Amino acid sequence: MKFEEYHIIPELKQSLQELGFKRPTDIQFKAIPNILNGEDVLAIAQTGTGKTAAFAIPIIHLISKSGTRQGVQAIVMVPTHELAIQITDVFDKLGKYTDVKTLGIYGGVEQDPQIKKLHEGVDIVIATPGRVFDLVNQGYLVLRDIKVLVLDEADLMLDLGFYKDIEDLIKYLPRQRQTLFFSATINEKIKKLAYSIVRNAIRIQISPKDPVSKNVTHSVMFVSMDDKRFFLERIVHENPESRILVFVRTKVRAERVFEAMSRVGIKTQTMHGGKDQESRMGVMNEFKNGTFNVLVATDISARGVDIANVDYVINYDLPEVAENYVHRVGRTGRGNNKGVAVSFCSPEEKSILGEIESFMDKKINVLQVDKADYSETLALTEDVNDNWKKLIADAEKENQVYQAKKKKKK
């Protein structure tokens, strides 16, 4: 079935055609009709399968048909600023030829421009919890006309840190509303929480046994913690045209990797919670535009951020939470594109690797690195602080050549 055959407004079909949306993905095919019918939905699907459009398309259609500027009619709750920005952009592009107005509300930036747009009239709000409650408590955001509540990345939104926020938010919403949950992963505990605040939700699960797209090739290298930077340097040099997203565990680690890459002449930028929102947006835009090809990020960038044509995801540090591996590697191999995920695993991280493999219910292919190749990687670094390794290696080679010549003379 093609989008042109769907019973949606012509303006929406026009934007879909311009964006190259011809046929729905599996999650879109299964979710859109149920949402159009007013059903509550709990949708679980792999990263990069078009979950945002699966709820954006029917919401824009429904609001356009019922009439715009009747107060905020839909609110999409997300865990990060970056995701709020990205989803707002998707709604804007899909609703380009309609009168539906979408506004992203998130912290880290001045709230006055957001308040001004609310006064001008908004139909859909994409928001993070903190800024929502600020504007609700100040009386700038009214939620009594909400018809649809969406929780994107629902497992994180409903986890311990966010569940109370969602409970508090629901107090401001009409009891008669449509509730939609979307995520790549969900466990039994979160499932119970989800069902406790919806009415007879329809569960849609795509490829439940493998939460990661089949377009992604996985591998792991066993590397000492102190030697990871040399292997990252080598991968970047061997793939100079590739767009590479590197994940580390903390913002301190991100800055250290940035400095290490700078010493060897590799242009990178960092993305983490220690940067203000304007800086993070600037870095993300430059990475998307190809100003630089290597981005070093913490898990703040792992959830839902759609960066086109990421060739490699490097897990410089394995994530502390196994399911975050799914969200990290989901930044590559999106849509019909192929992607590669390479993980560096130090001896102290082997237990985490086991948890990840258990979560995915499959083993990750091991890239065997023999001693000679390992030593060569360390020796070939351009890091001025580690040139002694190359000097030692060169000296050993010269000695071997000398000994061989000496032996030959004898």
CATH number at residue 125: 3.40.50.300
Backbone phi, psi, residue 236, to 5°: -65, -45
- Looking at residue 389, its pLDDT comes to 59
Are residues 178 and 42 part of one domain? yes
Are residues 115 and 160 part of one domain? yes
Are residues 292 and 179 part of one domain? no
Are residues 263 and 195 part of one domain? no
The 216-222 sheet, strands edge to edge:
268-271, 294-297, 244-247, 312-315, 339-345, 216-222, 365-366
Residue 409: HSE in the Cβ half-sphere, 13 Å Cα cutoff = 6
Residue 102 β-bridge partners: 124
Domain hosting residue 322, numbered range? 216-369
pTM, two decimal places: 0.76
- Looking at residue 210, its pLDDT comes to 58
| 3-state SS class at 78 | coil
- Looking at residue 398, its pLDDT comes to 65
Nearest residue to 47 via CA among 298, 220, 284, 303? 303
Write the CA distances from 301 to 22, 79, 85, 111, 399, integer angstroms. 29, 11, 12, 23, 48
- Looking at residue 386, its pLDDT comes to 61
Are residues 225 and 178 part of one domain? no
- Looking at residue 318, its pLDDT comes to 97
**Per the structure, how many domains does the chain have?**
2
In a domain, 66, yes or no: yes
In a domain, 296, yes or no: yes
- Looking at residue 361, its pLDDT comes to 85
- Looking at residue 214, its pLDDT comes to 77
Are residues 273 and 151 part of one domain? no
Are residues 148 and 259 part of one domain? no
Helices 26-36, 51-66: inter-axial angle, 10-degree rounding: 30
Among 178, 205, 232, the domain-final residue is 205
In a domain, 109, yes or no: yes
Are residues 188 and 73 part of one domain? yes
Are residues 253 and 143 part of one domain? no
CB 96 within 8 A of CB 146: no
Among 150, 184, 205, the domain-final residue is 205
CB 333 within 8 A of CB 215: yes
In a domain, 379, yes or no: no
Are residues 201 and 61 part of one domain? yes
**Could you give the maximum distance between any two Cα atoms of the chain, in Å?**
97
Are residues 169 and 65 part of one domain? yes
Distance CA 13, CA 3 (A): 7
> pLDDT 10s digit of each residue in the chain, 410 long?
899 999 999 999 999 999 999 999 999 999 999 999 999 999 988 767 889 999 999 999 999 999 998 999 999 999 888 889 989 999 999 999 999 999 999 988 899 999 999 999 999 999 998 899 999 999 999 999 999 999 998 777 766 577 788 888 888 999 899 999 988 777 777 777 777 778 788 888 876 555 566 788 999 999 999 999 999 999 999 999 999 999 999 999 999 999 999 999 999 999 988 888 788 888 988 998 999 999 999 987 666 567 778 999 999 999 988 888 988 898 898 777 889 999 999 999 999 999 999 988 889 999 999 998 998 898 888 776 665 555 556 556 666 766 776 676 65
- Looking at residue 168, its pLDDT comes to 86
In a domain, 78, yes or no: yes
In a domain, 381, yes or no: no
Are residues 251 and 364 part of one domain? yes
- Looking at residue 162, its pLDDT comes to 78
CB 357 within 8 A of CB 210: no
